[in-house]
Amino acid sequence: MSPTYNHMYEARQKFKPKRWYGESDANYGIFRGLIYNNNLIFERDIFADLIIAEYKFRQTLQQKETLERNIRALEKLPENDEDEKRLELCHKELETVKRNHSQNEQKMFADESMIPPGPLKRDYDAMRQDPTWYLRKELIEDCVSRGGCCARGCDCCKNRAVAYYKRGVGHCTADCGCCASERGFEYTVGEKQQTVDQLDKMLRSRNPSYVVKMAEAYFVKPPEKKVQKVPEQIQKEQKDKSQKKKVWWKQLV
């Protein structure tokens, strides 16, 4: 009997693969649906396409930021021919990166538009009201495992949330400047493409583990942290309440 995956995932998870995920059927082709909230079924590619588009959008933003930083540093140096050439190259590269970034933004918009308007889209939008949405356990762990800045103490990922840009912000990609200086080299174009290809392969695998984990991280708000109130805070609230009551009585009189 083929696995149904139903019991392989945590009970509190909102996403589960549809029964027979990845199996083919002579009449219907291959099933690749994810069940959301136990009652809605979405095509896996909605998630895979969006997560890849978001990765690429983040990637060009990080390229842009690194180039702009390099340009600022070069401009501060006293004039010398070699630096002038490097500066010129950086400006040229920046122009290309800006074009790619703009295209990635359009692609991201297109893929976001493929989320049917309804509960899933509402949850997606609600989550993004918080600029730190991506600083959640699953995505931090993902960044650590890839050797991103979350694996070190530089706080780059956290700082992106409060930086100038509101979209394309998130964890490190193969183009993070801080990661490159930590590694001591920049990835080649081919190596960067391999990273995207691998992400694509994991998300579209017949094994739904990774796509389920990422769909959960991108669409489902983590449970609220229960913050225990400190005694002084409780005392203050009680005091405030009693003061309000007094005012209310006074108004009646």
56-79 burial code (b ≥16 CB/10 A, e <16): bbbbbbbbbbbbeebbeebeeeee
Is residue 176 a contact residue for Zn ion (CB under 5 A)?
A: yes
Minimum CB separation of residue 194 from Zn ion in Å reads: 18
> 172 vs 199, which CB is nearer to Zn ion?
172
Is residue 172 a contact residue for Zn ion (CB under 5 A)?
A: yes
Minimum CB separation of residue 72 from Zn ion in Å reads: 18
Minimum CB separation of residue 179 from Zn ion in Å reads: 3
> 171 vs 213, which CB is nearer to Zn ion?
171
Is residue 171 a contact residue for Zn ion (CB under 5 A)?
A: yes
Output DSSP code: residue 240: H
Is residue 179 a contact residue for Zn ion (CB under 5 A)?
A: yes
189 three-class SS: helix
Cβ–Cβ < 8 Å for 20, 198: no
- Give the DSSP H/E element, type plus range, for residue 95: helix 81-112
113 three-class SS: coil
Q: How far apart are the C-alpha atoms of 165 and 48, rounded to whole Å?
A: 24
Cβ–Cβ < 8 Å for 94, 86: no
Minimum CB separation of residue 156 from Zn ion in Å reads: 3
Is residue 58 a contact residue for Zn ion (CB under 5 A)?
A: no
> 141 vs 237, which CB is nearer to Zn ion?
141
Minimum CB separation of residue 145 from Zn ion in Å reads: 10
Distances (CA, A) of 96 to 67, 99, 145, 205, 210: 11, 5, 30, 32, 32
Is residue 157 a contact residue for Zn ion (CB under 5 A)?
A: yes
Is residue 169 a contact residue for Zn ion (CB under 5 A)?
A: no
Is residue 217 a contact residue for Zn ion (CB under 5 A)?
A: no
> 35 vs 156, which CB is nearer to Zn ion?
156
Among positions 126-155, residues that touch Zn ion (CB under 5 A) are: 143, 148-150, 154
Q: How far apart are the C-alpha atoms of 111 and 48, rounded to whole Å?
A: 10
Cβ–Cβ < 8 Å for 218, 51: yes
Minimum CB separation of residue 146 from Zn ion in Å reads: 8
Q: How far apart are the C-alpha atoms of 198 and 146, rounded to whole Å?
A: 12
* Part in contact with Zn ion (CB under 5 A); list of ranges 12-20, 44-52, 176-184, 242-250: 176-184
Residues forming contacts to Zn ion in the complex (CB under 5 A) are 143, 148-150, 154, 156-157, 171-172, 176, 178-179
